Chains A and B, each alone.
Chain A
Amino acid sequence: MSTPLTLAGIGETFSEKSGILNIGLEGIMLSGAFFSFITAYYTQNITLGVAGGCLGGIFISLIHGYLSIRMGIDQTISGLALNFLSLGLTSFFFLMAFGKTTELPECPVVEALPIPLLKDIPIIGSALFSQDPFVYGMLIVVIGSYVVLHKTEWGVNIHAIGEHPKAAGAAGIDVNRTRYITALLNGLFGGLAGSYLTLALLGFFMENITSGKGYIALVVVILGRRHPVGVFLAAILVGAAEALQFRLQTMGTGIPSQVFNMFPYVITVLVLFVSIGKNRTPAALGEPYRQG
């Protein structure tokens, strides 16, 4: 569970760091899940499926980007509207393609890809090095994002745009173009996260398969303080809580799973509360940029 959350969270991190808040993350993931499924189903090729998922996510994120950047529409509302739109479109086309079946159509599923030699390391070998390619990919994305955001000039630019777009513009940075790029990344990784759900975790698609994971990803971004490694750790935390909940359920304790489900949300509220005054939100988050 941490994998899709991390991927989606990192995509959103890029976007928010450049000043665009995308609540439509849920819609991006859903779109990614759907298009990856459809592509994989009809081509029986997982790689193409992944590509399809990425494109599906980018489709939604670029719409959000256009609405926010070019038209200056309120980002919260456009994000919500896109969630509805994405849910509607994916459900619609799914039903259109498969009709109302009781048996969910399946698609090829990614297999674990153990890394030779490393996997034989006792204990951690099977845990760390016998995962499916998505997990490896996610780790690469985490490291790569960290490097880009914190060690390169690109990262400095993104940071500047989200914090003080006028200064960035005065320094010659193309604010809007960079924001489109981060929107693209947002869709790419979000779509990838959605693809993971269908192509790795579940092997099928159904209406509203993401059911709120996109919002949890937003939580992960806040908990992780918009830092790639932080997002990764926060996602692991949330995933661990979920695993704990499963374990407790099978053990038969009377604690309802909802108690654990609540954790990430309650913690987020507390984090928001505690960060009064120590505001690390990009100063220009949510505000459209007007040139000149």
Chain B
Amino acid sequence: MSLLSMQNITKSFGGLYANKDVHLTVGKGEIHALLGENGAGKTTLMNILYGIYQADSGSIDINGVAVRIRSPKEAITHKIGMVHQHFMLVSTLTVSQNITLGLREKGYPFTDRKLVDRKIARLCDEYGLKVRPSDVIAAISVGARQRVEIIKLLYHEAELLILDEPTAVLTPHEIDSLFNVLRRLRKNGHAVIIITHRIAEVMSIADRVTVLRDGQNVASLDIEETSSSHLSELMIGRRLETLTRPVTASGPGSETPVRLSAKGISLYGETKKILDNISLDIGRGEILGLAGVDGNGQKELAETLIGIRKSDDGQIILDGKDISHLGVKKRKGLGVAYVPDDRHHDGLILDMDVVSNLMLSTYDQSPFSRKKLLNTKVCREHATKKTLEYRVKSSSVKAQVRCLSGGNQQRLILARELHGYPKLIVACQPTRGLDIGAEAFVHKILLQQKARGVSILLISADLDQIMALSDHIAVIFEGRITGVLKNDGKLELSQIGLKMAGLTGAAA
């Protein structure tokens, strides 16, 4: 009898399925990997297990008994614990205080700290974890904080531990330590579910793996039955017939002049490099697709190219000019356009109207303003013209952008960014959350710009899109470019998939 059995789990948000008839079975003393890309439904499934969401239909059995988990508190009573990607730790309190947060230990309200600390020390010994109870969270490393989170679960007597992308924030050394801890947990009969997109780690630590794709099960396998390339195919597998690449202009040959050259870009984060010595070249009229699972440094790279962030190392050269030290405005003036992935926070001012949002980059240029005075008539006319041209559907140009649909909001951003004939477009997840029609429109626009000679960096987690539009495909993993491939129609998905999962070899 397995420890956990989730059957027919279905959950939708606003008409879109996050999980559809998903099964998951995990036994005691098992390390189970939940593998899939962004949006595959892994986190949703675990959130349902942990009581953060309730499934629309389906059942959860623990030790053979059907249970309803309506809140994290209930999950904890069922001996389920979860370590989220963003740690739930209070940085100004100590390790010990965080572990007992919300509990009523002996001596409440005057918690017997010594007793608690002894208990923590015992757990540390048992599982090979090393933390000092009196340390303040703010002063310890990220790896140590993760250990605290795990001890917290064990202190709450969790038998099933869920870890959400646990290795995302760890150095390779810390990952080794973590895996040792997981092996100890397994030995002691705990079950561990790891949510991940990193195939190498799945192969090295998991006993079983369940692959999800587009909210549905693809496979549940023992590790012995599979391999890296097999997993990457399962994880990414597309119906090959949907991959048609409209050839509008011949792809650039090696003689195409390079427009954007990024050399040795590095960005240092709290514990490790967010961007690690990235070098990219994009030619005129070339679309370079940047593939990779979200969270591997794409957004930071985009922001560095635009000027929102300054890299710690490296150079950015646009048409021969070094723009590394220029601010956002100057770079925009030189022809850099940005379509951000977070429309609502980075791209638009939702509570302002269409006219204002269209002006955001150009308000201080003529003819929109002269000598600091806005020409509201020109601004309004421009807005009317652009909303027609880009078919932005809104009640009027004075309407608040908040009221527009996602697709129309994206059209607005494109209208704004493409005004003034940019030379480089950095498009970050440009079709995320859009319907088919809006997505097709975005593709059309990008190809139009390509035909005009614009260089485009297309950052996307959607391989269909990357395959359909890119001339070359670069893959980013953990802040490094793991490979650049020419998209000559003979490319195999598995090649890309492996690189996305961090494996650079052709076969594994």
- The residues of A with any CB-CB pair to B shorter than 8 Å are 151-154, 156-157, 159-160, 163-164, 166-168, 170-173, 283, 292
Contact = CB atoms under 8 A, between A and B. Distances in A.
5 shortest interchain CB distances as A-B pairs = A171-B102, A167-B88, A172-B102, A152-B109, A171-B101
A172 B109 contact: no
B91 interface: yes
B110 A168 contact: no
26 contacts: A152-B109, A153-B104, A153-B110, A153-B111, A154-B109, A156-B93, A156-B101, A157-B101, A157-B102, A159-B90, A160-B90, A163-B93, A164-B89, A164-B90, A166-B88, A167-B87, A167-B90, A167-B101, A168-B101, A168-B102, A170-B88, A171-B88, A171-B102, A171-B103, A172-B76, A172-B102
A164 B110 CA distance: 22
Given A153-B108, A170-B72, A164 B91 contact: yes
Interface string B84-118: 00011111110001101111110011110000000
A164 B86 CA distance: 12
A151 B110 CA distance: 7
B73 interface: yes
Nearest to A152: B109
Interface centre among B91, B92, B93, B101 (most CB of A within 10 A): B101
A292 B101 CA distance: 18
B78 to A, nearest CB: 14
B72 A156 contact: no
Interface string B61-87: 000000000001100100000000001
Contacts of A167: 87-90, 98, 101
A41 B109 CA distance: 40
SS class, residues of chain B in contact with chain A: loop
Contacts of B109: 152-154
Contacts of B97: 156
Given A152-B110, A153-B108, A153-B109, A173 B91 contact: no
Interface of B: 52, 72-73, 76, 87-93, 97-98, 100-105, 108-111
A280 to B, nearest CB: 8
A167 B52 CA distance: 14
Contact of B101 (A151, A173, A283): A173
A188 B481 CA distance: 61
Contact of A163 (B72, B90, B100, B105): B90
B91 A172 contact: no
A192 to B, nearest CB: 23
Interface centre among A159, A168, A171, A173 (most CB of B within 10 A): A171
Contact of B73 (A163, A166, A172): A172
Nearest to B84: A170
B412 to A, nearest CB: 28
Contacts of B88: 164, 166-167, 170-171
Nearest to B105: A153
Contacts of A151: 110
Contacts of A166: 88
Given A153-B110, A167-B88, A283-B91, 5 more contacts: A153-B100, A159-B92, A167-B90, A170-B88, A173-B102
Nearest to B97: A156
Contacts of A171: 88, 101-103
B146 to A, nearest CB: 14
A292 to B, nearest CB: 8
Contacts of A168: 90, 101-102
A156 B98 CA distance: 9
A45 B74 CA distance: 51
Contact of B93 (A154, A159, A292): A159
A169 B52 CA distance: 12
Given A152-B110, A167-B101, A171-B88, A160 B93 contact: yes
